[in-house]
Amino acid sequence: MAMTGVLRPGHAQIRVLDLEESVAWYTNVMGLVPMGRDVQGRAYFKTRQERDHHSIILRQADRAGMDFFGFKVLDNATLNHLEKKLVAHGVRTERIPAGDLLETGERVRFNLPTGHAIELYAEKKDVGNGMGYVNPDVDVLEGKGIAPTRMDHCLIYGPDIDANRELFEKVLDFTLVERVKLEDGTTDLATWLTCSAKAHDIAMVRHNEPDKMHHVSFRLDTWEQVLRAADIMSKNRTSIDFGPTRHGITQGTTIYFFDPSGNRLETFCGGYDHYPDMHPITWTWDEVGAGIYYHARKLNDTFLTVVT
């Protein structure tokens, strides 16, 4: 699949209640690589395999949650083109100057109908992944913490997910991969969309409150690494929401857990390849439990209620 528009999820800015505690936790338990702080005091991190400067930004705040989620696009011409499409769709955009985030070029920010701030950008410094571009060694899982390979996707909660999906499909050329229907058999409770060949790059659930985050997800390579992550979480007394288990939707393996501020995160492994000529998969209300938690075949109480 030729990727010429939106390439992938690129960064998420997460609000934390105690920055120093969170920096230590994201370094030692998550195993992310610290990449410095800016004049605002925000802390930057990347995963071990990411080549761009950062994917996670932590900001001290009085409430947990996510400030914005960013997608990287192919180049500046693509950025300009997509901004014009957003404006033509009736979306108000804002240009954030280069350098506002460390080692990051100009960004286009806009709000989804659900209230979430989304960014597009084309430029971020390539700092490499430690293996080089000539005759590289293979990546070996070592060092601190869970050490995911990349920041993979996010799940957001808000009211008008239908308008969200229309924007992602018509303006940003995302593809619908899977959906869950409510009891009426018509209304979407949740949708999963991709801009790549992954099972999803963003997902959304219908919720009465706008601008809520369910989780930011980090990719692992194997089921054994998911189990290893669970061991690390337990050893460090990390609060686990659910798992290790498998999703019916996307078929990925998963653990949901919480950072020290109460932000839900996920370790995610697997999931099938999806291409634009494939039909979306639909889950009915009576099987939503198996869709989310395939082994237990029922939802836990926190999945639909605990958000930040």
Asked whether the predicted pLDDT for residue 184 surpasses 80, the reply is: yes
Asked whether residue 174 falls in the same domain as residue 286, the answer is yes
- What are the CA-CA distances from residue 142 to residues 182, 194, 208, 227 (Å)? 44, 30, 42, 15
211 domain residue, yes or no: yes
306 domain residue, yes or no: no
From 104, 121, 138, the end of a domain falls on 121
Asked whether residue 39 falls in the same domain as residue 117, the answer is yes
Asked whether residue 13 falls in the same domain as residue 71, the answer is yes
- Max CA-CA distance within the chain? 56
Contact residues for 272 (Cβ-Cβ < 8 A; gap 6+): 199, 250, 251
CATH of the domain at 21: 3.10.180.10
Asked whether residue 99 falls in the same domain as residue 181, the answer is no
Q: How many residues does the chain have?
A: 308
User: Is the sign of the CA dihedral 242, 292, 151, 12 positive or negative?
Assistant: negative
SS (H, E, C) 176-228: EEEEEECCCCCCEEEEEEECCCCCCCEEEEECCCCCEEEEEEEECCCHHHHHH
Residues 252-306 have pLDDT tens digits of: 999 999 999 999 999 999 999 998 899 999 999 999 888 899 988 988 888 888 8
Rounded distance, CA 294 to CA 245, Å? 7
Asked whether the predicted pLDDT for residue 2 surpasses 80, the reply is: no
> pLDDT band for position 1 (50/70/90)?
very low
Neighbours of 93 (CB within 10 A): 14
Rounded distance, CA 292 to CA 266, Å? 13
281: domain range? 150-292
Structure letter (DSSP) for residue 153: E
b/e code 110-149 from CB counts within 10 Å (16+ = b): bbbbbebbbbbbbbbeeeebeeeeeeeeeeeeeeebbbbb
Number of separate domains in the chain: 2
132 domain residue, yes or no: no
Active site (catalytic) residues? 153, 200, 215, 247, 256, 266
* Residue that has been written with the tokens 């293996």 in this structure: 131
